[in-house]
Amino acid sequence: MSKAMAVKSSREKLRINDLHAFYGESHILHGIDMSVNQGELVTLLGRNGSGRSTTLRAIMNMVGKRTGSIVINGQETLDMPAHKIAHLGMGFCPEERGIFSSLNVEENLMLPPRVRSDGMSVEEIYEMFPNLAERRKSQGTRLSGGEQQMLAMARILRTGANILLLDEITEGLAPVIVQKLAEILRKLKERGLTIVLVEQNFHFAAPIADRHYLMEHGHMVDEIKAHEIGAKTDLLNTYLGV
């Protein structure tokens, strides 16, 4: 392996090659290729049904069947049981937020086991999300949409996960909350966390992302670096209608 390649692979946190994913008989992903380096924030853009959420769920082994290759922190995970993938440093925040109604805020926060030793402390989390501190004894599902989203993110930050998969975190939230989430993502980037963000709100994702993958009908149609956005506006218009 050349020196340049070795440096590249040591920074590479996630590499996906020729990934196919199925829900029962339905073939959803058709040979996805992508990679994410340490400290990068990469978005998956596309219309509803383009396969962005399925890509995240396939990474976490939450779909019916997968073929191809998914390497996380240098380890092939295609045949790995779902519960072991989290322990490679993965944190997944699902589109529906996944707040457990039978648990209060603090129980939700403390629920996932630590996957790495350097997770945020509860105090740090409450400092980052002060609303959660005030409502720590409330049932999780009694929170507002924005608070639930913050809880879903806080929950994986406490585990020490350093690769975050965030699915539509701004969906249905007020602009002021969306702004707050953008600030939080910037802070997480500064801490060196690696983030894969599925997002429909291009105006939210564009200023904070390093690269964008464009998806359509389960295929990866293009990769756009942050500085290329201006030059590829037509392409974005075609696939996203922005």
When asked if residue 103 is in the footprint of another protein (CB under 8 A), the reply is: yes
Please identify which residue in the block is written with the tokens 């806080």.
154
The answer to whether residues 185 and 208 touch, using CB atoms and an 8 Å cutoff, is yes
Element (H, E) at 43: strand 41-45
Please, which contacts does 184-191 make with residues 24 or more away whose CB atoms are closer than 8 Å?
184/128, 184/150, 184/153, 185/41, 187/128, 188/157, 188/164, 189/39, 189/41
Residue from 31, 39, 68, 98 binding another protein (CB under 8 A): 98
Give the total of residues touching another protein (CB under 8 A). 25
Nearer to another protein, 83 or 227 (CB): 83
When asked if residue 110 is in the footprint of another protein (CB under 8 A), the reply is: yes
Pattern of binders to another protein over 34-73, x per CB under 8 A? --------------------------xxx-----------
Nearer to another protein, 135 or 155 (CB): 155
When asked if residue 159 is in the footprint of another protein (CB under 8 A), the reply is: yes
Give the range of 34-42, 94-102, 202-210, 233-241 binding another protein by CB under 8 A: 94-102
Tokens of 69: 């290759």
Q: How deeply is 98 buried, as exposed, middle or buried, from its count of CB atoms within 10 A (0-12, 13-18, 19+)?
A: middle
Pattern of binders to another protein over 115-154, x per CB under 8 A? x---------------------------------------
When asked if residue 102 is in the footprint of another protein (CB under 8 A), the reply is: yes
CA distances for 105 relative to 119, 168, 178, 188, angstroms: 18, 21, 21, 22
The answer to whether residues 45 and 202 touch, using CB atoms and an 8 Å cutoff, is yes
Interface residue list for another protein (CB under 8 A): 60-62, 81-87, 90, 92, 94, 98, 100-103, 107, 110-113, 115, 159
